[in-house]
Amino acid sequence: MSDVRLRGSCACGGVRWTLATSPKSLDCCYCKTCQQLSGAPFVAWVGMPKTSLAWHCSDSPSEARILSFSLNSLATRTCCSQCGSTLSMQYHCYPNKVHVSAGTIIEGEECLPKLETHIFVSRKPAWYQIPDDGVPRYAEFDEEFERVLGEYVEDRREQ
């Protein structure tokens, strides 16, 4: 697979993923959900086209597999059924884009874009200091995401 740009895996290695194109974004999220699911002050998310991401895991029911879950109506998240590693998140308002946890990358970090945003900084833990890196910070989502999310929520209300 010479066209693979990134490779990733959960902690136990039971779930793996590959990306065939360059990733499109890199953002750090400090929301309480990301903190609680990762056990860390934030999750770095790598955004990419959904069609370029391939998941690989065993078909055996006794081995690791991808668990999908939603904690709200805005997004679906995935984790490994064996080790619990945070794997991905897909916002329903962006059906063609998926975000994978940057912490799962095992090969290809050099093709990551520069960090674009720090989001949900209003919810970061008091004990954690965001580096003074010049990257834009948002109390919640950035303006473009807020607009798209607002349209999505309004469309759902009208249905």
Domains of the chain: 6-158 (3.90.1590.10)
User: Which helix (DSSP H) or strand (DSSP E) does residue 47 occupy?
Assistant: strand 43-49
3-state secondary structure 128-146: CCCCCCCCCECCCCCHHHH
Q: How far is residue 129's CA from residue 145's CA, in Å, rounded to a whole number?
A: 24
Q: Token digits for 119?
A: 């989001």
pLDDT tens string 29-45: 999 999 999 999 999 99
pLDDT tens string 136-159: 999 999 999 999 999 999 988 887
pLDDT at 58: 72
Q: How far is residue 68's CA from residue 88's CA, in Å, rounded to a whole number?
A: 9
